[in-house]
Structure 1
Amino acid sequence: MIDPSELLRRALDLTSRLDHYSALQAFVESAATLTGARYGALSVLDLRGNTVQLVYSGLDSMSNGLIGHPPMGYGLFGEMPDDAYIIRNNLAEEFPDPPWPDDHPPMDNFLGVPLVVRGRPFGHLYLAHKDGDFSDDDGEAIMMLARAASIAVENSRLFAESVVRAQWIAASRAISTALLEGKDEEDVLALIAYEMRRVAKADVALIVLEGVAGAWTCEIADGEGASEIVGVDFPPTGRAQSVIRDGQGMIIDSMSRQAQLQVPMLASYGSALYAPMVAKGSTMGVIILLRAQDKQEFDLSDLAMAEAVAKQAALALELADARHIQAQASQLEERAQISRDLHDLAIQQLFASGMELTAVRNDLAASGAAPETALESLDNAINSIDESVGQIRQIIYSLRDPQATAPIVSRLRREVEHGAKILGFRPKLRIVNLGTAVDGGLHTEIDDELGADVADDVVAVVRECIANAAKHARAASVGIDIAIENHRVSVTVIDDGQGIGRDLSRRSGLSNLAARARRHHGTFSIRPGSGGENGGGTKIEWTALVE
């Protein structure tokens, strides 16, 4: 008969343990010692009742390796109830052909006890090969010990959750610090993937963001072999898109067991966790964590922490974007103010002075009262004023864009020249101002019509379109049409390349063109072109209102 005081001592020892494996090992060893069983094993179950972990007692490492994975789940091992123990004291007669491996240690008798945690079957304890028979006293005592083990397992779970929660908080703090320090967005996204993979004990972390034409593409990946998934589109009917639409995360028990997997590259993984990046009710993307097939499944605690960090990361990214836009706006506004002051004060005053001098010179020339040398001096002064006006205009253009040292027509021609070097051929540029084609000359009146902000954006749009054609299109020709009329400017760029590709993602810069159009209450679109020798081609249309 089991000593009650010894049973109590071992139960108290169990409940004081916070390490998960240590508690399970102590449970098996205590049960074997109290009952006199020579061998003991605890089969830890997953949500489907399959054995995912075995904790042994009474077996050396050699025997453990010989017996491999015992057949827990059927035959004798499949009879275990969830609320009572079972005893078999004559296994030789009951199982003339034993359902266990040949190298398994001898078992003359058997005691099985369920381990239930939070009302769910957590595992089955098996005790075997006792000198003499197992008794009901043994069964009742080990059932009591199992209740103590249940408390120990729950305590270890709560302790582990607190440790993991602290790690999630540290990861969140590291992400926020990186953002507030002004690090590049790409670097921050890579940090988010790394930290979430590390803390969640995942093998791979993916960040899926919106790209061109509404596609959602994996743009950041962390983990062994994850780089192969970068650039893969996630289909509209897939799980990732469902999480993006609903703003609710989900857990998949095993990707390898999914009957219909729309991203085949994920089929080699086990459990998966989807956490949406939500800010102000809008989903910016989804973070996918993947574990290997032999790893433990994600649970609801993992999902809750991952969702919290994903939301915090989305808010932090939004804050970083706002800070960047604010800094740019402040800089542009300061430059614009200087430009306006130079234009409205210095240039206007010089114009007025030049007009007065011209009037005086003409009066003196008409009266014949002034010598020729005086008239020449006045001509020189008037020319100097004109040159000063031109120099101030150049300064104004430089303030608008540090790289800009000429009016918009000259800047556009310079972009075409630069494009010819990277494309291998010269793009065709056509400018129409108020119905008249612009050929030679500077045509500074276009700068006055467009204004500084719109002019800068037109140049930036042309530059971005040429760059994208060079990187992605593989075109043989590029045509650029710019038209200014009715307080509106339009930029149309057509190439005959391979068309819109998957690699034109959110990072490609095309999203910047849409943002520039919105700033001026305009429009932006990209769609297949009308074809050409090399394929379907691409047509980009950008418009802005001119106030």
Structure 2
Amino acid sequence: MTDPIGYHIPTAPDSVSGLFDSALALTSRLDLTEALQEFVETARRLTSAKYAALGILGSRGETVAFHFSGMEVSEAERLPHPPHGSGVFAEIPVNAPLIINDLASHPAFQGWPEQHPRMKNFLGVPVRIQEQVYGRLYLADKKGGFDDDDAANMVMLANAAAIAVQNSRLYAESEDRAAWIAVSQAITTALLEGTDEEEALELIAKKMRVVSKSCTALIVLPSVGDAWVCEIADGYEAENMIGLEFPPEGRAQTVIREGSGVVVDSMTRTRTMRIPALRGYGPALYAPMMVQGVGAGVIILLRSRSQPEFDLADLAMAESVSKQAALALELASARHAQDVAAQIDERAKIGRDLHDLAIQQLFATGMQITAIREDLESKNGPPDVIGLLNQAIESVDESVKEIRHIVHRLREPDANVVVVERLRREASLARTSLGFAPSFVITLHGQAIPSDADNETVAEIDNLIGADIADDIVAVVREGLSNAARHAKASSVGVTVSVDEKEVRIIVSDDGVGLSPSRARRSGLANLAARARRHGGGFELARGEQHGSVVQWWAPLG
């Protein structure tokens, strides 16, 4: 009896039965590590060899995993490295076994590494999956040497091992797919519940790192200017990764521009490494975050050097989830626009209510008081009472005028409000989000102005600043206070707005953990820099002298 390759299969009933039972048991294994270890143990038992080992090959032919039997763990740990595939091992054909019953005399024998046990004979068998060599089975030191029956048995067992590997791969893929789907559902739920942008991205990074069995996950987003920076990181060395800038010619920005993900077999072996912090990692996966065909960012998954490479199934799943990450950014932007629209609608409603109800009621009250006063005057009523009624009528008129001014400002928000009042209003509104009142100081020519500053001083500040830059100054203060409330976890926040003939300078400082200078949120601090550039000014974010952070923004005047 022969196998399909032409090797003789022993006809002894016990031997054949044991081989088929072992092969059947092997193919039923779904855990890859258990299946491969059982393959090695079975091969050693069926051939009566003293030693057995299986080397799993990587994409470059190097040994990426090693399973052994017949050697103590302590002995194996003393070996300098697994087999490199050179010397005698390189002689193993890709489609047939190799028997060498006198290793020392073989021309390709190169001696033994230090601490390696000395072996007399050898049988090598390739393990092939879909015409590719997946690994090599090594057997050594059998009494009397190996024969064709051993080779034929091991070829059959290797075929069973190949089936076990494929089965375990399919099972692992189905398990991974289910896990990715669960992650996708969790992210969708979070987005529907209204999780804000940063929390959603942090959740995505964590979930993707865990489900992909990576040690680190990074999310790279557009930052200040044309820079693309790691703004979200989870896992090993996460804190050190935040703020890394990814250059235009690098792999990350290439993936963003092309909108197509890539896998890298090993960052350690990459010839050109533009970001040294990534060199210590092994396999990597880059998945673009696409919004209507435009790259909004990229998610990078990193594995350690001892972990297996990413495959195309991993990439497909990661790309699918990365689209949800892009959706998180879009939803955050849409919610902001919705909030602004809601505020405008609310202002309009308040304005209508004031106009339709308050003014009409006051006007009617004023008419009634006027009628009473005229009646008293016609009857020569008490002068003091008539005087009081005149004062009441004047008060009603003033109230109507004031309400009309309020309605006008609600319809055209901030159009006629001086910038000092607008800035103070931002500081007051921030009390809710901060949980305390921030310190707020406005200086003119180096002198702090009091809260009850006269109209002349307030008007001078307005004239120096001008209408063109006023809106941006208010927006900068608002964004600085918002960032302090969201990120700093501070117990105090101070805002200083300094104005003179040459420039306006805004400083927002806190005493909390601070917002990392490198963590410039796409929708926040990047906007501050853009506003500064618009007026020929500048923007900086730095750590405080002892703790916390300091935001500085300035623009020339005049």
Q: For the residues of structure 1 that align with 2:47 and 2:476, how far apart are their CA atoms?
A: 83
Q: Aligned-residue CA RMSD in angstroms? A: 4.7
- The 1:17/1:237 distance shift into structure 2, 3 A limit, reads same
Deviations 1:245-277 (A, max 9, x none): 111111112222222222222122121111112
2:197 aligned with 1:185, yes or no? Answer: yes
Q: Which residue, out of 143, 152, 157, partners 1:145? A: 157
Q: Would you say the 8 A contact 1:407–1:442 is kept in 2?
A: no
Q: Is structure 2 residue 33 aligned with structure 1 residue 21?
A: yes
Give, in angstroms, the shift of residue 332 of structure 1. 4.0
Judge conservation of contact 2:266–2:284 (CA < 8 Å) in 1: yes
Report what 1:520 is aligned to. Answer: none
Paired with 1:67 and 1:158, the residues of 2 have a C-alpha distance of: 34
* Structure 2 CA distance for partners of 1:96 and 1:289, relative to 1, 3 Å: closer
> Is contact 1:415-1:462 (8 Å) kept?
no
The Cα shift of 1:64 comes to 2.2
Cα deviations by residue, 1:426-452 (Å, 9 ceiling, x for unpaired)? 2679xxxxxxxx846899xxxxxx9xx
CA positional deviation for 1:94? 2.2
CA distance in 1 between counterparts of 2:483 and 2:193 reads 34
In structure 2, the residue matched to 1:227 is: 239
Which one of the candidate residues 422, 427, 443 is aligned to 1:426? 443
For residues 190-339 of structure 1, the aligned pairs below 5 Å read 190-323=202-335, 325-327=337-339, 329-339=341-351
Quote the Cα distance in structure 2 between the aligned partners of 1:140 and 1:441: 97
Report the alpha carbon displacement of residue 222 of structure 1 after superposing the two structures with TM: 1.1
Question: Following TM superposition, by how much is the alpha carbon of 1:413 offset from its aligned partner in structure 2, in angstroms?
Answer: 5.8
Give the TM-score normalised by the residue count of structure 2.
0.74
Deviation at 1:56, TM superposition (A): 0.8
Q: 1:39-58 counterparts in 2 under 5 A?
A: 39-58=51-70
> How far, CA to CA, are the matches of 1:261 and 1:66 in structure 2?
33
Distance 1:348 1:480, change over 3 A: farther
Deviations 1:32-77 (A, max 9, x none): 2222222111011110110011111222223323334243311001
- Residue identity opposite 2:443 in structure 1: R
Give the Cα separation in 1 of the matches to 2:269 and 2:155: 35
Kindly state the Cα deviation for residue 324 of structure 1 after the two structures are TM-superposed: 5.3
Q: Is the 8 A contact 2:201 2:328 kept in 1?
A: no
User: Are 1:463 and 2:477 matched, yes or no?
Assistant: yes
Bigger shift: residues 290-299 or 37-46: 290-299
Identity %: 48
1:157 and 2:151 are equivalent in the alignment: no
The CA distance in 2 between the partners of 1:115 and 1:295, in whole Å, is 21
Matches of 1:412 and 1:100 in 2, distance apart?
82
8 Å contact from structure 1 (residues 493, 539) kept in 2:
yes
Tell me which of 144, 147, 155 is aligned to 1:132: 144
Give, in angstroms, the shift of residue 151 of structure 1: 0.8
Aligned match of 1:526 in 527, 533, 547?
533
SS state of the match for residue 256, structure 1?
coil
Q: Does structure 2 conserve the Cα–Cα contact (< 8 Å) formed by 1:172 and 1:313?
A: no
Residue type of the partner of 1:114?
A: P
Q: Is the 8 A contact 1:408 1:455 kept in 2?
A: no
**2:291 corresponds to which letter in structure 1?**
A
List aligned pairs for 1:501-516, cutoff 5 A: 503=518, 505-506=520-521, 509-510=524-525
Note the C-alpha offset of 1:120. 2.0
Distance 1:82 1:335 in 2: 78
Residue 421 of structure 2 corresponds to which residue in structure 1? Answer: 411
Partner amino acid for 1:166? A
Contact 2:218 2:299 in 1 (8 A): yes
Q: CA, structure 1 residues 410+476, in 2 after alignment: closer, same or farther (shift >3 Å)?
A: closer
Larger deviation: 191-200 or 457-466?
A: 457-466
C-alpha offsets along residues 175-205 of structure 1, whole Å, 9 cap, x if unaligned? 2222222333322222211111111111111
CA change 1:104–1:232 in 2 (3 A) is closer
Aligned runs of 1:53-132 on 2, under 5 Å?
53-94=65-106, 98-132=110-144
Equivalent-residue separation in structure 2 for 1:531 and 1:308 (angstroms)? 39
1:385 to 381, 391, 396: 396
Q: 1:351 to 1:236 in 2, by over 3 A?
A: farther
Measure the CA separation in 2 of the matches of 1:455 and 1:528. Answer: 8
SS at match of 2:424: helix
Between the aligned partners of 2:401 and 2:359, the Cα distance in structure 1 is 9
d(CA) in 2 for partners of 1:4 and 1:379?
119
Pair 493,140 (structure 1): closer, same or farther in 2 beyond 3 Å: farther
Counterparts of 1:524 and 1:342, CA distance in 2? 35
Structure 2: give runs of 5+ residues left out of the alignment.
Answer: 1-9, 431-437, 447-454, 461-466, 488-493, 508-515, 540-551
What displacement does 1:27 show? 1.5
Change (3 A) 1:411 1:355: farther
Residues 412 and 459 of structure 1 are in contact (CA less than 8 Å); yes or no, is this contact kept in structure 2?
no
Matched AA of 2:213: K
How far does residue 8 in structure 1 lie from its aligned partner after superposition?
1.8
Q: Which moved more, 1:306-315 or 1:173-182?
A: 173-182
**3-state SS, counterpart of residue 130 of structure 1:** coil
Change in 2 beyond 3 A, CA 1:512/1:35: same
Q: 1:466 to 1:163 in 2, by over 3 A?
A: closer
Query: In the aligned structure 1, how far is the partner of 2:483 from the partner of 2:58?
Result: 53
1:342 to 344, 349, 354: 354
Aligned length: 495
Q: Output the TM-score relative to the length of structure 1.
A: 0.76
Residue type at the aligned position of 1:383:
E
- Which moves more between the two structures, 178-187 or 284-293? 178-187
Q: CA deviation at 1:504?
A: 7.2
Taking the TM superposition and a 5 Å limit, the aligned residue runs for 1:349-368 are: 350=362
Shift of 1:323: 4.2
Q: Secondary structure at the match of 2:289?
A: strand
Q: Deviations over 1:490-534 (max 9, x none)?
A: xx975499xxx96472257246679xxxxxxxx9562584799xx
TM superposition shift of 1:391: 5.9
CA 1:46/1:397 → structure 2, altered by over 3 Å: closer, same or farther?
farther
Q: Aligned in 2, Cα 1:530/1:209: closer, same or farther, shift over 3 Å?
A: closer
- Return closer, same or farther for 1:80/1:390 CA change in 2, 3 Å cut-off: farther
Q: What are the superposed Cα offsets for residues 256-301 of structure 1, whole Å, 9 maximum, x if unpaired?
A: 2222222222122121111112232232211111112222222222
* Distance of 1:102 and 1:463 partners within structure 2: 68
The answer to whether the 8 Å contact 2:93/2:126 transfers is yes
